[in-house]
Amino acid sequence: MVDFNKVYLFRMTHIENIPHILKYGITHPESEFANGEYIGIGDQTIIETRKDKILIDDKKIGDFIPFYFAFRTPMLLVIQTGYNGVEKVHPSNIVYCVSSIQKIIDSGNDFVFTDGHAINAFTSVHRKEEIENLFEIIDTKAIKSNQWSDENDLDLKRRKEAELLLIGDLGVDFIIGYAVYDERAKNRLIGFGVNEKKIIVKKDYYYDKF
């Protein structure tokens, strides 16, 4: 049986959002506890598209809080480089809030997961009841790969961006820890009130050359 305590989930956010997360958890934009001063990162065109695209049971992708199954995603590269008009963010200002499948289950929140990027028409959506079959559904090799461009596998990038999508807010107690780029970011989190034992510096979670 899979130990879901060791199946980690990653939610990227701007470091300035951490104080709000420490108080209210990871909140949805429509939550009563939503961060009115939230600093977004990522491709706003894709974010807007997700708001309107039906995912399952008349729920739109934007109704969920997304998590990735791995770090160093294609979207992170876009954010660090400022590609395609996306606002460029230094990696020191990007924090991974790390949870796990087991923590999500323990939270009691409803969720679904996908075998690829949720916006893609070829992606299939699976309910929480199917989580025991997770590794038969998602492509872990693709997810963990540092590459996503392969002329012999044009679907690789889609599969790499598999997601777990959560309904409702995730309380701070269900966040295992925080991964950051450098000591400067770590010290800022400590200053915000994060327990130092919950912070790990993982430069290899980022694209170092940018």
pTM of the model: 0.95
Q: What does the alpha-carbon distance between residue 31 and residue 161 come to, in Å, rounded to a whole number?
A: 25
- 57 domain-assigned: yes
pLDDT for the residue numbered 151: 85
pLDDT for the residue numbered 209: 67
pLDDT for the residue numbered 201: 98
Is the Cβ–Cβ distance between 27 and 35 less than 8 Å? Answer: yes
pLDDT for the residue numbered 120: 96
- 180 domain-assigned: yes
Residue 133 burial (C-beta neighbours within 10 Å; 0-12, 13-18, 19+): exposed
Residue 57: which domain range?
Answer: 4-205
pLDDT for the residue numbered 141: 96
- 134 domain-assigned: yes
- 210 domain-assigned: no
pLDDT for the residue numbered 210: 54
Closest CA to 185 of 2, 49, 13, 29: 13
Please report where in the chains the tokens 């974010």 appear, as a residue: 47
Distances (CA, A) of 104 to 161, 169, 173: 19, 11, 11
- 95 domain-assigned: yes
pLDDT for the residue numbered 75: 94
Domain count, the chain: 1
- 142 domain-assigned: yes
* pLDDT one digit per residue (tens) for the chain, 210 residues: 789 999 999 999 999 999 999 999 999 999 999 999 999 998 889 999 999 999 999 999 999 999 999 999 999 999 999 988 899 999 999 999 999 999 999 999 999 999 999 999 999 999 999 999 999 999 999 999 988 888 889 999 999 999 999 999 999 999 999 999 999 999 999 999 999 999 999 999 999 865
pLDDT for the residue numbered 208: 83
Tell me which amino acid residue 5 is: N
Helix runs in the chain, H state only: 18-24, 44-52, 74-81, 101-107, 134-137, 140-144, 156-160, 183-192
- 116 domain-assigned: yes
Is the Cβ–Cβ distance between 35 and 24 less than 8 Å? Answer: yes
